[in-house]
Amino acid sequence: MSSEIALGIEKIRGTIESALKDGATLGSLNDCRIAVFGKKGAMTGLQKMLGKLSPQERPEAGKIINGAKDEFQSKLDEAIEKLERQKLTEMELRDRVDVTQPARGRACGGAHPVVQVTMDVLEVLEGLGFVTVTGPEIETDFFNFEALNIPPHHPARDMQDTFYFGDGRLLRTHTSGMEIHAMLDMGAPLRVACPGRVYRRDNDPTHSPMFHQVEGLVVDKNISVGDLKGCLEAMIHGVFGRKLKARYRASYFPFTEPSMEVDIECFKCGGSDCRCQICKGTGWLEIGGMGMCHPNVLRYGGIDPDVYNGFAWGMGLDRIAMLKYGLTDLRALFDGDVSYLLSGRHE
């Protein structure tokens, strides 16, 4: 029986020695530990054999088994500890933080081009005594159309252009409804600027279903087209940083009479370059509509058109941002690509 134990011990020694050879991993050593010392392991099997020995043989055999067990256990523990230490050192080297490295710094944030242009416009207008007001993007037919003298069958009311909610409410198609809110809330005389989002069923490189306008409204006594032009040109100067020529073309809007559209001189080529991407070589860029307030609109706003008159304009802020920053696709403004917006590529 004792020779059987001696044989068993030698077998285990062989197992341990081959497990400790080069290429041992924590996983393989652990497997070996289980194979030797686990519940069904070889060492545990030898210990069980002790019970079958005679009382005379048992103390000697027990000593041998325990001696071998201690020896094997410490060999395995030592190898495992060595590998663990090695692993830790590798991890430390790999994840080492060089505290002497300079900090990477943070990219500086900047205003979105549309926000920047809006702030520029409002700054000029506030300097001219305008008050900035904002209003609801969900409007009623009354404020968006009816009170602006837009007749029931006007194409602007078409389902093709307007997002309707089906309960009489709609997403405002322009900021002009704010003229009525302002007149009803503030009365005459008044000077207001109303920036905000507007919505139309449009989506192509120069149109987005959501875009931004700024409405301007002045109501007072003896207001003239000259006042309108002076105001507008001051605004253009403020936004583009220099005086640009403006051209007024006769137009039609139900809420103004007379009505005009305004073009500004192409600040890039001034009309001299027929390949200019921005004005397509025409030398002019359209920026908005305007006119003298229609008497019906003043009446809807609770103002007596026999005492007061006024002017109003509506300008596309995204369009102005595109012109100012030379963008060819309006949708880039709304894609939310921060690296593009902060890169200065729009400058």
Q: Which residues bind ligand DAH (CB under 6 A)?
A: 174, 176, 215, 253, 256, 259, 289-291, 312-314
CB of 151 to ligand DAH, least distance (A): 15
Distance of CA 15 to the CA centre of its chain: 62
- Of 267 and 311, which CB lies nearer to ligand DAH in the complex structure? 311
| Number of other CB atoms surrounding residue 17 within 10 Å | 11
Considering the complex, what minimum distance in angstroms separates the CB of residue 97 from ligand DAH? 57
Shortest CB 104 distance to ligand DAH, Å: 46
Supply the minimum distance, in Å, between the C-beta of residue 198 and ligand DAH.
7
For the CB of residue 259, give the shortest distance to ligand DAH in the complex, in Å. 6
Closest approach of Cβ 267 to ligand DAH, in Å? 22
Shorter beta-carbon distance to ligand DAH: residue 239 or 290: 290
Closest to ligand DAH by CB, 19 or 219: 219
Name which of 72 and 284 has its Cβ closer to ligand DAH: 284
- Is the CB of 120 or the CB of 215 nearer to ligand DAH? 215
Quick one: 113 or 316, whose CB is closer to ligand DAH?
A: 316
**Residue 215 has which token pair?**
């409405």
The span from the CA of 317 to the CA of 193, in Å, is 13
Q: Which is nearer to ligand DAH, 283 or 291 (CB)?
A: 291
Closest approach of ligand DAH to the CB of residue 333, in Å: 18
HEC letters along the chain = CHHHHHHHHHHHHHHHHHHCCCCCCHHHHHHHHHHHHCCCCHHHHHHHHHHHCCCCCHHHHHHHHHHHHHHHHHHHHHHHHHHHHHHHHHHHHHCCCCCCCCCCCCCCCCCCHHHHHHHHHHHHHHHCCCEECCCCCEEEHHHHCHHHCCCCCCHHHCCCCCCECCCCEEECCCCCHHHHHHHHHHCCCEEEEEEEEEECCCCECCECCEEEEEEEEEEECCCCHHHHHHHHHHHHHHHHCCCCCEEEEEEEECCEEEEEEEEEECCCCCCCCCCCCCCCCCCEEEEEEEEEECHHHHHHCCCCCCCCEEEEEEEEHHHHHHHHHCCCCHHHHHCCCHHHHHHCCCC
Residue 288 pairs in a beta bridge with 262, 315
257 is in an annotated binding site: yes
Annotated binding site: 257
Annotated binding site for Mg(2+): 257
